[in-house]
A and B are shown apart, each in its own frame.
Chain A
């Protein structure tokens, strides 16, 4: 047995997009234990429920995260709509689904770039982010924002997208697909990429279940779990089937996300084909009645959970957001045990951690 040492890793580290700290207990370059600690950027956003009316709170909730902000707004609005018994117009459901899937494309491309950067493949990183830029342009064109969109509101959405712009969106995404195929080839077949990812960070299906993993982390370990299967938005009309891999390593998690980019593009194209004409919101008036409502969404990083408690007032009594990274930190800690020190960045990156989401 070699000498044990503890290496502090983070919260500021070149491969970490966000602040998480790990105490890595090392023995001969192998990690034997990892103790996570977060809490550096806790903002207490849920507490703002006391100061913001339910219609204003959507702006706060969207700011939980700069990558999956649209989904957070949608999840929150869904809980309030559930409490108030509001049925939103079908066109609004389609628009929400389109923007949400566009967010997934943007998030996964961002993550693929970060991963490439993490294993030192700079040009791959730049190409991923170059493609992502086109998705941000689509957001800007359809919502006016590139990070925070503020198009989701209780009762529907604020902005419509005309037919011409929807068709242009599909054409841009289909154009991206061709270039994405070249990147996919590199991610799947390049020997240096495979060297860093295949067999690294293995999480068995049993462990993924035991540790309650969600999203691509769970699906890469063979679990067919995806909240889109519950038919929220218009997913029940888009012939959706989750992307599942069984290898359970960093490579499998990369494959799941790559496949999901193509799948999201297909779903957006299908939604554009099916979107009906009509209203995009319904008027919402009055207080939120007493009661409670829970909703879940499949965010790019996995299942997110939303809860609102009404108090017959314009102010809610409690809101709760549980983000996917919350559920994937335990699985990350498990996969770190026994890995090489050099693989730690890959392992952390492949859960696609979002700490500002987690701490809110």
Chain B
């Protein structure tokens, strides 16, 4: 395994720091590589991965389930796919999404199947 592959950067930040942090990184030339969500006991664990020169930097946010988080589509428009996916599958709530499918991005047979309410 190459040395570069062993680098696993995870930086914890507060939900309120997300937009400013990503804006700064974008200005430095980082591109959005992916966003994903994991259900944890405290709520949602969100991971935002940015790439520059083939090295990933990952920002980690713990978001209580009932709280909303600011959309990053104003910074990286391409994030609309991830945010709609997380909204549909987990029920993560985003504020000010540039393109919001209102829970119909994926045609699922029950709401938020990866975080069922029952």
Binding site for B on A (CB under 8 A): 35, 37-40, 42, 44, 47, 78, 81-82, 87, 209-212, 225, 227, 229-232, 236, 292-296, 303, 305, 307, 309, 317-318, 320, 322, 326-327, 329-331, 359
Contacts and interface: CB of A to CB of B under 8 A. Distances in A.
Interface in B1-34: 1-2, 4-6, 8, 10, 31-34
Contact of B78 (A81, A212, A295): A212
Nearest to A228: B54
Contact of A230 (B8, B36, B54, B88): B54
Given A294-B56, A322-B36, A326-B81, 20 more contacts: A38-B106, A39-B104, A39-B105, A39-B106, A44-B114, A47-B113, A87-B1, A212-B78, A227-B54, A229-B54, A230-B4, A231-B2, A231-B4, A231-B5, A294-B8, A294-B49, A296-B33, A296-B56, A322-B33, A359-B106
A47 B114 contact: yes
5 contacts: A40-B107, A210-B77, A294-B8, A294-B49, A295-B5
Interface in B49-81: 49, 54, 56, 58, 76-78, 80-81
Nearest to B29: A209
A38 B78 CA distance: 15
**Interface centre among B34, B36, B38, by most A CB within 10 Å?**
B34
B78 A293 contact: no
Interface in B90-118: 99, 101, 104-108, 113-114
A211 B105 contact: no
B107 to A, nearest CB: 5
Contact of A303 (B10, B33, B105): B33
B19 to A, nearest CB: 17
B62 to A, nearest CB: 14
The 4 A-B pairs at the shortest CB distance, nearest first, are namely A39-B106, A330-B78, A231-B2, A322-B34
A82 B1 CA distance: 8
B111 to A, nearest CB: 14
**Interface centre among A82, A292, A359, by most B CB within 10 Å?**
A292
Given A37-B101, A294-B49, A309-B38, A330 B5 contact: no
A37 B10 CA distance: 32
Contacts of B58: 294
Contact of B80 (A42, A87, A320, A330): A330
Contacts of A320: 34, 36
B5 A232 contact: yes
Nearest to A88: B1
A230 B5 contact: yes
Contacts of B10: 292
A267 to B, nearest CB: 17
A46 to B, nearest CB: 8
A230 B81 CA distance: 26
Given A211-B77, A212-B76, A305-B33, A81 B54 contact: no
A76 to B, nearest CB: 14
Nearest to A93: B1
Nearest to B2: A231
Contacts of B81: 326, 329-330
Given A227-B54, A309-B38, A326-B81, A212 B32 contact: yes
A2 to B, nearest CB: 25
Given A294-B58, A295-B5, A42 B78 contact: no
B36 A236 contact: no
Contact of A330 (B1, B77, B88, B107): B77
